Structure 1
Amino acid sequence: MLSFTQEDLPIFDALEKQRLERLVHFDVPGHKGGRGNKELKQCLGETCVKLDVNSMKPLDNLCHPSSVIKEAQKLAAEAFGADEAFFIVNGTTAAVQGMIMSVCKAGDKVIMPRNVHRSAINALVINGAIPVYINPGINKHLGIPLGMTMEDVERTILENPDAKAILVNNPTYYGICSNIVEIVKLAHKHGMLVLADEAHGTHFYFGENLPISAMAAGADMSAVSMHKTGGSLTQSSLLLTKNTVNADYVRQIINLTQTTSASYLLLSSLDIARKNLVKNGKEMFARMLQMADYAREEINRMEGYYAFGEELVDRNLTFDFDQTKLSIHTRDIGLAGIEVYDILRDDYGIQIEFGDIGNILAIISAGDRNLEIERLIAALSEIKRIYKRDKAGLFDHEYINPKIVMGPQEAFYAEKESLLLNDCSGRICGEFVMCYPPGIPILAPGEKITDDILNYTNYAKEKGCFMTGTEDMNIEYINVVK
């Protein structure tokens, strides 16, 4: 087999070769290079639809890679400092679930912060593992969850010596990092694996002056959203592993839920993005930092907004901070974050990542330009001038510590009844309630519904947050355990 280097693109080059061979296709997909759907070809472009092909011998097979996909995954592992890398085309959701389901079986315990993405709790619903939650710290002014303290981590490990693993957000949606190096040391000392949700941390692997990556910290597995800041296509991701886990078993677990019809557009984008990061990542992420720091400084010159950054670092609840995250607190100008989000989109043509009750998040990447940064700053200044009002009555926190009554799987599959949301105080939740993004559950299956949670949910709905998770599409009724 040919020897590949980081300059090579095994998957994309194989795709190009088959495209130039002008094969006659009696296989799927049925659009046959766009000829069977001219509007699709017109919308996406001829090259794109011709590269949308099915697995064939020269292109390898993601379920059991033995040639070009295998080589591309080797290059990715090398680039990210892992022993193995798995290409994921079901989003980082599948990577997170693959991690948890690889190390836990039904009844096994896994330690995790409660402000995890829904994908982690979904994994518990599927395979029956039991969560042991560590409640994150809370910044009361910003109303956001922070990281896990080493004191809480150590106490939880000692109280649950039979836990199989601990999951760490590296970083959170807001850029907050826990002390992953010391967590790894402590977990390994007690025979536990460390899993990292790095959906928002691809740049940690290639940039400078950024928090440490999970693989560099010694974690056993990591789920990395290449598409978020790494430059691949949406839905493409990586699952990285060290030799402390059985990579062949991990592949089997991934194949339980990942599609058998992997998109070569997504696979080749991972290949291309990896090469670009190796060649240009350092420069790309230095520019990202520069733009984010400039925007943060300019926004903080305006009274009312607070673009928070490394000043939050206390080496405890916020052990480190991702300075590329432009998170902005809006409540002091009398507007919820989701209200600023809507105004930016509707009145200024600016789409940011999300707005919650008190904050907005603008994702800055290598694809941004200085002109667009200036446009965002100017729009925020004008929004403040036009819309500023008294902040009295605004909800002042994002995170409410849950009360766990039963396991997620038991509650999700229990006999349930549907009740009006406001009539459910004191009952056990049988499904999810969350704002998306960020996709951190307000309620998860097995948690007690409280008045505080109901008040928060109603407030989020009133302010226009995009609510998901319940069977009832209007989020007026919720399934509770009978």
Structure 2
Amino acid sequence: MNLLLQQKAPIFEALKRHKGNRVVPFDVPGHKGGRGNKELTEFLGENCMKVDVNSMKPLDNLCHPTSVIREAEQIAADAFGAEAAFFIVNGTTAAVQGMIMSVCKTGDKVIMPRNVHRSAINALVVCGAVPVYVNPGVNKELGIPLGMSLEEVKKAILENPEAKAILVNNPTYYGICSDLRGIVSFAHEHNVKVLVDEAHGTHFYFGENMPVSAMAAGADMAAVSMHKTGGSLTQSSFLLCGEGINPQHVRQVLNLTQTTSGSYLLLVSLDVARKNLSLNGKEIFAKTVEYAEYARQEINKLGGYYAFGNELIDYDCIFDFDPTKLSVHTRNVGLAGIEVYDLLRDEYGIQIEFGDISNFLAIISAGDRAMEIERLIASLSEIKRLYGKNDKSGMFDHEYINPEVVIAPQQAFYSDKKSLLIKKSVGQICGEFVMCYPPGIPILAPGERITEDIVNYILYAKEKGCLLTGTEDMAVNNINIVERV
């Protein structure tokens, strides 16, 4: 990384020049620097509204950058150790889909774990690639999916020599990492591209003593959510490319779906966040780890809860662990993770990232304060005392159910479908998604067999208060099933 180069922020500098030039706007957006929407300007601030601008020559164009955006991309590539970097303003969803659609076309096989984000399976619906699922390991005590075993990956590649790519989560939502270097080495020996969903791994590039990043491991492409742990605005991300990837082709693929009206608020947030992490990332993430480790230790002292960490590492399905993740198992206090989530929010004014059937996740960053960490710990202690149950009977004990894929996602999604009560759908083929959001990992994806176990899981998640999404029926009572295969 060139630290002298990293001190620059071309988009930020161009926007400051534009703001100082007092240009009269006869272009979009119609709020004209905020003058046309006073209430919004009062809420967001005049500075924000004045730099919410459209593409123009001095500010470059996201779809075909030749000046300040192009320079910012090159600096970002240097920061991440990539050959090329793309600014993404459609969320990491667009980056994940851009990766898959850049290397796969209709009928091509792509190997992936089933616990991928819905964006990956959406990409298959759009481009027609066919998934070959490697079931992740499962920790039955915690009820969570793990990483992919290197042996399972090797088996999948050898059994599917025509596969174009493999997609790897690095890390999972819970902080679990697979053997990324081992996967890259074996995949490349067999001419398989390695695509990495690093939505939760920005800090791997800038912190010390972190799990290996995708680019450092030699992966071909990586989707990095700067907004999750990197400090940029929500919906902003980077798509990174390694050697052997044609960046001009990737840009063409991205331009199929990414907006032609790229938000300069998102672009400048990426530019400034990258600069901040390049110059200060070691200190930022050292503080983050310190907070997370302290919280883990104190929560484990409460009894019942289990804030898990690197003690889980087995160099197989748990090859490494993200030390910034505060993932907490709750079933031993007689509460589902989503119940603890709701109690923290409604009774204690604490918003955590998500709660599922057995666990919750709190995102820790250097932006937190020690007193807030203490408040979280104290609140969990009180929740255990006031709401904990000794009787765990009737609690669902696993988060991941192995799917049976009957037909490809694209075929199922575009097939003739009919709506059935979820309770009466056992044995049918699913024609849409069902998932808890967050994290957005499908319980069911188009083309998969609906089983009794899956139906029970959906009904239990709904009963416990998980936000279920993906179905055409907004009440999630019915599900669309494929009429004819």
- Secondary structure (helix, strand or coil) at the match of 1:23 reads coil
Deviation at 1:393, TM superposition (A): 1.1
- Whether 1:394 aligns to 2:380 is no
Q: Secondary structure at the match of 1:5?
A: helix
The residue that corresponds to 1:312 in the other structure is 312
Quote the Cα distance in structure 2 between the aligned partners of 1:128 and 1:48: 40
- 1:203-218 equivalent positions in 2, closer than 5 A: 203-218=203-218
Instruction: List aligned pairs for 1:291-302, cutoff 5 A.
Output: 291-302=291-302
Deviation at 1:40, TM superposition (A): 0.7
Task: Report the residue type matching 1:299 in the other structure.
Answer: I
Code of the aligned partner of 2:239: L
Q: Where does residue 239 of structure 2 map in the other structure?
A: 239
* Deviation at residue 243 of structure 1 after TM alignment: 2.6
Q: Distance in 2 between matches of 1:351 and 1:391?
A: 25
Residue equivalent to 1:170: 170
Give 1:14's aligned amino acid.
Answer: A
- Supply the AA of the counterpart residue of 1:77: A
**Counterpart residue identity of residue 286, structure 1:** A
Question: What is the CA distance between 1:242 and its match in structure 2?
Answer: 1.2
- Correspondence 1:8-47 to 2 at 5 A: 8-47=8-47
Aligned-pair CA distance for 1:6: 1.0
Q: Secondary structure at the match of 1:62?
A: coil
Aligned to 1:223: 223
After TM superposition, give the deviation of residue 8 of structure 1 in Å.
1.0
Q: Supply the AA of the counterpart residue of 2:412.
A: A
- Which stretches of structure 1, 4 residues or longer, exceed 6 Å deviation after superposition? none
Secondary structure in 2 aligned to 1:82?
coil
Write the distance in 2 (CA, Å) between the matches of 1:318 and 1:311: 10
- Distance across 2 between alignment mates of 1:333 and 1:18: 56
Distance 1:127 1:165 in 2: 14
Partner residue in 1 for 2:341: 341
Q: Residues of 1 paired with 2:388 and 2:231: CA distance?
A: 36
SS of the residue aligned with 2:197?
strand
Structure 2 SS opposite 1:267: helix
2:365 maps to a residue whose letter is: S
1:448 aligns with 2:431: no
| Inter-partner Cα distance in structure 1 for 2:315 and 2:243 | 30
Match of 2:88 in 1: 88
Partner of 1:439: 440
Aligned partners of 2:263 and 2:223: how far apart in 1? 19
Q: CA RMSD in A?
A: 0.8
Q: Deviation at 1:425?
A: 0.3
Once the two structures are aligned, what percentage of the paired residues are identical?
Answer: 72
Deviations 1:165-212 (A, max 9, x none): 000000000000000000000000000100000000000001011100
- Which aligned pairs between 1:151-170 and structure 2 lie closer than 5 A? 151-170=151-170
**Corresponding residue of 1:408:** 409
Q: Which residue of 2 aligns with 1:324?
A: 324
Work out the number of aligned pairs and report it.
480
Measured in 1, the distance between the counterparts of 2:150 and 2:77 equals: 29
Is residue 372 of structure 2 the alignment partner of residue 351 of structure 1?
no
Q: Secondary structure at the match of 2:335?
A: coil
With normalisation by structure 2, the TM-score equals: 0.98
CA distance in 1, matches of 2:448, 2:116: 15
Q: Distance in 1 between matches of 2:288 and 2:127?
A: 39
Alignment of 1:268-279 (within 5 A): 268-279=268-279
SS of match in other structure, 2:26: coil
| Mapped partners of 1:341, 1:274: distance in 2 | 31
Secondary structure at 1:351 match in 2: coil
Cα deviation digits, residues 210-246 of structure 1 (max 9, x gap): 1000000000000000000000000000000013111
Give distance in 2, aligned partners of 1:169 and 1:56. Answer: 37
| Structure 2: tracts of 5 or more residues without a match | none
